[in-house]
Amino acid sequence: MKVPPFDIDLDKHYNATVVIACQQCGHETRQHLDSLAPDATLNCPCGTDISLRASGLLAARQQADRIKTAYRVS
């Protein structure tokens, strides 16, 4: 299954938030990375499934780690 487009934002405490874009309507849904579980259902307000599978969640965690490394945050 294709991974929905996502981006990572860090708050002032360097907690990662995943911003997932719906491919149907373009709406962006924000979820804390630590609150997401592999294969847990996440739907856009338009009803489209925007869930991150295990591979997408792994990619999000790796991207968050790269950002934190760039900011020299553990």
Pick out the chain residues at pLDDT < 50. none
In 1-74, DSSP assigns E strands to 6-10, 16-21, 28-32
At residue 39, the pLDDT reads 76
SS3 19: strand
Mark residue 62 as left, alpha or beta (left: phi above 0; alpha: psi -120 to 50; beta: remaining). Answer: alpha
Q: How far apart are CA 45 and CA 29, in angstroms?
A: 9
The whole model's pTM is what?
0.86
